[in-house]
Structure 1
């Protein structure tokens, strides 16, 4: 597998979530496409037209984080954050601390970031948007 690019579904707050992720993770937006700018525009209300049809955030390591606003009016129903985790592998303990601190703002820490029995510096959290994250630093250990 060349790349693994996570795709997230939100209940109408994709833009807010991705501005937050960009502020913590860095990178650049490659695409921001709204429903009003697509062939689906006549199927949504004016308010929903401003929602995100597709967004992509390219991170410095080449990973592309993508998402959409899953509109119930178009038959999309989701349960936020319960079916996956996003795993971040940091390049140092200091970077792991920074990522964990940033993502946990307004969220809930599940496992505090600390040295684990298997040797990794690891923690888990759910961010303020209901997305579950794992932050990991393995040093020179194989993943």
Structure 2
């Protein structure tokens, strides 16, 4: 059976800092396995070669790319998170939007009572929605 996991590629050795922020922000989140670059590797020693982690119980993968690319994350691919409370949504929106960019401020857009879309400081795009 095949499996599917979203994969996040970070540049400039930011994967660990991003994961630290996400693990501190979302429940049921943490590292499952990680392999780091060594002195003999292509990437900067200590950065993430490949990691498997969970956010809200869902598995993801990520890496720090040793190759410099002319692209980064784009909002056309985002992580959609539904919250059980407006207070929790607003709290996470505040954390993830700090030093990032707001694409759609928290508001009632008709399809949702409370919705916001942001890019965090690492460039990862998040759609945050109140499920009520």
Q: Alpha carbons of 1:49 and 1:8: their partners in 2 closer, same or farther (altered >3 Å)?
A: same
Aligned alpha-carbon RMSD (Å) = 2.2
Q: Alpha carbons of 1:95 and 1:5: their partners in 2 closer, same or farther (altered >3 Å)?
A: farther
How far does the alpha carbon of each residue in 1:13-64 deviate from its partner, in whole angstroms, 9 at most, with x for none? 111111111121242211121022xxxx74426xx1321011232234x212
- SS in structure 2 of the partner of residue 44 of structure 1: coil
TM-score (norm 2): 0.82
Contact between 2:15 and 2:63, CA under 8 Å: does it hold in 1?
A: yes
Task: Work out whether 1:53 is the aligned partner of 2:49.
Answer: yes
Q: Alpha carbons of 1:69 and 1:99: their partners in 2 closer, same or farther (altered >3 Å)?
A: same
What CA distance in whole angstroms lies between the structure 2 residues aligned with 1:130 and 1:28? 20
In structure 2, the gaps of 5 or more residues are none
Please identify runs of 4+ aligned residues in structure 1 that moved more than 3 A.
Answer: none
Contact between 2:35 and 2:50, CA under 8 Å: does it hold in 1?
A: yes
Task: Work out whether 1:105 is the aligned partner of 2:98.
Answer: yes
Equivalent of residue 67 in structure 1, options 49, 55, 62: 62
Number of positions where the alignment pairs a residue of Structure 1 with one of Structure 2 = 127
TM-score (norm 1): 0.77
1:9: how far off? 0.2
More helix by share: 1
